[in-house]
Structure 1
Amino acid sequence: MSAVLAGLAITIVGGDRRTEYYLPSLLQAGAKILAVGLTRLPCYLDVVPVDLLAGIRACHALLLPMAGMDAKGRVQSYYDDAPLVLDHTLSSRGLLVLTGVARPQLRELGAVNGWRICEIGADDELAYLNSVPTAEGAVRLAQDRAVKTVHGSRALVVGYGRCGITLAALLKGMGAHVTVAARQTGALAQAFAAGHSPQHIGDMSRGLGSYDFLFNTVPALVFTEDVLVCMRRDSVLIDIASGAGGVDYQAAKKLGRTAILAPSLPGKFTPETAGHILGRVLPRIIIENLPEER
């Protein structure tokens, strides 16, 4: 890998197990890595431990976990137990802040602190590559909660974007009978061409009780109480949509339906593969989004 990041200081704040697998690529690209909340990183990784304020003041780009921060400003770290909290005292005009998903709280904080927020989860290359470990993680999670095999089962995939395409293909390859629910006629035609049964998302309630496995990829409320009541009690619904997902979880609990919001699956189930994917795309994303003045 060429030294495309030579002369740049990148501060990494927290993160899951993917961190130790993408970090070598940043080092090989010539970056100086400042580490916040990463005290248990493997010792062979050449990083400089700093506190949060020092890391922000000294870096060209700040890298948050794919999950970003929660509503209280907290950033999770697999490698440290000390709390990491982002707040309005961390001003740095024009600082590039990269994260997988930027929730409203992070965007508001970024506006106050003068940060330039970049949602790398929206990057096409990363999203397509990441769809593989995401799909595998979703199926593994479903299998853990199920009482039957995927092979021979009936599975519903809601949404036919990047993750939906990969997930439907994986389920079909495992021997499931796959139905794809989507809104756009083009997506439904694409699903049909791939050998799946297409269904308009507005008709999803019809026949919902026939599915053993259900997967949602749409980041909008599609599994309302009226829809969930049509779902069997022994079925498993895995929600891999970003943010709050697409399921009314209070209704699911009230109805006794198994519905699981499953964010950050690549980091939980396949951190090495998912980390290498990040290492492949991060140098390009950083260079493309770095403000010239920094």
Structure 2
Amino acid sequence: MNKKTFDFTIIGGDMRQVCLAKLLALKGYCICHYGLCEPLKAPCIQPLDSLLEAVSSSSVCIAPIPFSKLLNKAPYLEFADLLSDGHTLFAGCIPKPFFKLIQAKNIPAFDFMASPEFSYWNAKATAESTLANAILLSPRTLFESRCLILGYGKCAKALARLLSMQTPYLSVAARNPVQLAEASLTGAQIISLEQLSDCELSSFDFIFNTIPAPILTSALLEQISPSALLLDLASAPGGFNLEEAKAMGRNAHLLLGLPGKCAPLSSAEKMMSFIFQRIKISS
């Protein structure tokens, strides 16, 4: 099939990709898709039956955020083999091995999450969505509750700013002294990760983990109050064993891909702007 049959191919993903297809169609573009999480068909939006047909139908391919979600539809090698000269790829968190494969084929690839502007916006959307989930999943108000954030990267910083407007009892635990110093400027109490066992974890009403490493051991999970809400925002392997935490009776939840679940339309708008800037289309 001619690559120019459609203007964009959208592959896999979550509701962000569904919203993106609708937004592009509203602008008059013809979209084909494969493996969307929701059936979608309209005059300018066409589902296709195979990854080969989808990739062959447009020169611009948009894969999921994170790119690992594509594994549900096709292995990396298979997808890389389908891409050829003339294609342009957009995705989020593209693995280095795959990036090298398509670089060798001179295929332009743009990673949403490699853009500081996009990644910071994504962090803010994640923080806002985290607060929405925290309110729904806890019997307590965030207002004046004791909150602990584990880590102080982009998402944690955005979350700390929002939480600081809800409670004066905010603590941040991190390993990096520079991050701890930065966190202290927000008025948060700072804790070294090495001192977590000594910080009375049982006193916290909300604990938010943003570190993709097993920080909360079995012994630390035991210290957390059963009435506290424990949210893990980190990618695999996460900050604790979710099944173990639940078996201990802890109110624990794993929250991944929050912008795609709580703010898919806003996320899609940011993605569309990112794409248009890279392929020189006026929005």
TM over 0.5: yes
In structure 2, relative to structure 1, the CA distance for the partners of 1:29 and 1:218 (3 Å cut) is farther
Quick check: which one's helix share is greater?
2
User: Is the counterpart of residue 141 in structure 1 residue 133 in structure 2?
Assistant: yes
- Aligned positions of 1:217-256 closer than 5 A: 217-256=210-249
- Aligned positions of 1:1-294 closer than 5 A: 9-23=7-21, 33-38=31-36, 40-41=39-40, 43=42, 46-50=44-48, 51-69=50-68, 73-74=71-72, 84-86=73-75, 88-90=77-79, 91=81, 92=83, 97-102=89-94, 107=98, 119-175=111-167, 177-205=169-197, 206-284=199-277
- For 1:117 and 1:229, locate their aligned partners in 2 and report how far apart those are by CA, in whole Å: 45
SS in 1 for 2:121: helix
- For 2:235 and 2:121, locate their aligned partners in 1 and report how far apart those are by CA, in whole Å: 16
Deviation string 1:219-258 (CA, Å, 9 cap, x unpaired) is 1121121221221111111111123322122431332222
- For 1:137 and 1:40, locate their aligned partners in 2 and report how far apart those are by CA, in whole Å: 25
Output the TM-score relative to the length of structure 2: 0.79
| Contact 2:5-2:58 at 8 Å conserved across structures | no
SS in 2 for 1:204: helix
- For 1:87 and 1:127, locate their aligned partners in 2 and report how far apart those are by CA, in whole Å: 23
SS in 2 for 1:18: helix
| Contact 2:205-2:228 at 8 Å conserved across structures | yes
- For 1:227 and 1:247, locate their aligned partners in 2 and report how far apart those are by CA, in whole Å: 10
SS in 2 for 1:251: helix
SS in 1 for 2:8: strand
| Contact 1:224-1:251 at 8 Å conserved across structures | no
In structure 2, relative to structure 1, the CA distance for the partners of 1:215 and 1:103 (3 Å cut) is farther
Deviation at 1:262, TM superposition (A): 0.7
SS in 2 for 1:229: helix
SS in 2 for 1:198: strand
Deviation at 1:102, TM superposition (A): 4.7
Deviation string 1:87-110 (CA, Å, 9 cap, x unpaired) is 754423576544334579x959x6
Deviation at 1:192, TM superposition (A): 0.9
- For 1:283 and 1:243, locate their aligned partners in 2 and report how far apart those are by CA, in whole Å: 31
| Contact 1:130-1:277 at 8 Å conserved across structures | no
Identity of aligned pairs, percent?
28
Greater CA drift, 49-58 or 266-275: 49-58
What's the RMSD between the two structures over aligned residues? 3.4
> Which residue identity does 1:200 align to in structure 2?
S
Greater CA drift, 62-71 or 191-200: 62-71
Output the TM-score relative to the length of structure 1: 0.76
Deviation at 1:43, TM superposition (A): 2.9
- For 1:116 and 1:251, locate their aligned partners in 2 and report how far apart those are by CA, in whole Å: 43
- For 1:192 and 1:102, locate their aligned partners in 2 and report how far apart those are by CA, in whole Å: 33
- For 1:199 and 1:130, locate their aligned partners in 2 and report how far apart those are by CA, in whole Å: 26
**Uncovered stretches (5+) of structure 1, i.e. residues with no partner:** 1-5, 75-83, 288-294
| Contact 1:217-1:241 at 8 Å conserved across structures | yes
Deviation at 1:278, TM superposition (A): 1.9
Greater CA drift, 208-217 or 239-248: 239-248
